[in-house]
Amino acid sequence: MATITSLGVGSGLDLTGLLDQLQKAERGKLAPITQQKTQQQAKVSAYGQLQTSLNAFKDAVGKINDPELYQSLSANVQGEGVKATATADALPGSYRVQVSQLATAGTLASTRVTDQDAALDLQGATAFQLSFGNGDSVDIALTADSSLSDIRDAINADKESGVSASIINDGTGYRLALSSKESGAEASINSFSFVDAGGLAVAGPFGEDAATQQMGKDAVLKVNGIDITSASNQIEDAIQGVTLNIASLALEDGGTATSTVSVERNTLGVREAVGAFVKAYNGLEGTINNLTKYDSKTQTAGKLLGDSTVRTIESRLRSVMIGSVAGSELSTLNQLGITLQRDGTLKLDEDKLSDLAANSPDALSDFFAGKDEASGMAGQLTTTLTNLLSDNGTIKGAITGAENRVKSLDERYARMEKTIESTIDRYRKQFGQLDGMIAQMNQTSSYLTQQFDALDAQLGRKK
């Protein structure tokens, strides 16, 4: 039989076109697998969106599950330059704050020397002594060839020195500049001297010229007429549970700055946290609606329409949301002004919530945060959400299941492709054999025709 290198050459039939049609028909068997894989991949993406919304809701629930939220106080200031923060120990009230002096750090500068790196004439001194406003002193050890730079470095290397040292070039020479690390009169650097090994003062290298000095000062203020002094501009517990920061005040010489600090319940924080809870739940509900809706106009279905995982999540969350909290003055969300709408979302009555935040913070705390971490509504929701989102939970199980189905479909697709390739190869061989057989038959037919024509000529039957 003749060998055919191109289908159809021997027979004259369009065997290549026929083979292409057969191949297209065979590969059509892959389309359902591809479609199923696309659907499962879309489900994985949809479950991811649902998981993100559940985590956002869980975060919002966690914030209202904190008893301190409902007991927190805020400090508001009328007047410029004074800042105030309140802790749980603060008590509601109004306080008049009059500041007449800010706390400052002491500074001291030596007389000048001509060369900051040249050895000083220490006149037998072995230490540089720093003296402070509270009567304390610190000795900084010196060597016989110490320079101004060496003294600076030795002071800064001593963590107990209480001052920071630098060198200033005043245009004529170099001065050692000292600054107390802390503000206030007691921490102020008041003086320095050179002392010998016996602790006795010696003249040292700076001579008798006066040094430049600014004494450290305490902050001076009144709170509701009561005199208060502070070594720092951050003043704690002058008002119980309140920290005042007056560092930004700009006081003129002899002037006084007056502010009013009002300590009140932080109803804004409660309103924001509960509002965020409602918003996060509605966001979750919106995600679920988008993933499960059916658009009759476009005849398109959501990726999770009819999905049992979504129904489970909605059912478990709503059972908590419409339930009641035992042992609390407020037992249902409706009593807080939070109502469940027909579309599944929550609606918040902000006026009612504001009234409860201002006048019944304990009742709000009992309802959401409960007597312990898991007993309030927020605690119950946290338990439910934790179970839904855990590694063995509903949402992770759904994602894993869809991912496994994608993997299985990939394997099925690969097996089907091999089967199709095998089938097409078989067709190709059969078509090749058919082409060769027809070509041989055509050759035989042509040969016989020639022989018969020759015989007819010999017999005189063909002119």
pLDDT digit string (tens) for 52-105?
999 999 999 999 999 988 888 888 999 888 999 988 788 889 999 999 999 999
Cβ neighbors of 41 (< 8 A, separation 6 or more) are 402, 406
230 beta partners: 219
Q: Check residue 2 and give its pLDDT.
A: 43
Measure the CA angle with vertex 17, ends 11 and 23; round to 5°: 125
- DSSP annotation of 210 reads P
pLDDT of residue 4: 43
Per-position b or e across 70-83, b if 16+ CB within 10 A of its CB: bebbbbebeeebbb
**Given this model, what pLDDT does residue 18 score?**
78
Cα distance between residue 244 and residue 97, in whole Å: 9
pLDDT digits (tens, 9 = 90+) for 145-177: 999 999 999 999 999 899 999 999 999 999 999
- pLDDT score of 440: 77
Q: What integer pLDDT is reported at residue 315 of this predicted model? A: 92
The one-letter amino acid at 278: V
The pLDDT of residue 9: 58
pLDDT of residue 96: 95
The reply to whether the predicted model has a pTM over 0.85 is no
Neighbours of 69 (CB within 10 A): 21
Which pLDDT value is given to residue 213? 85
Low-confidence ranges of the chain (pLDDT < 70): 1-14, 207-210, 435-436, 461-463
d(CA 214, CA 189) in angstroms, rounded, equals: 9
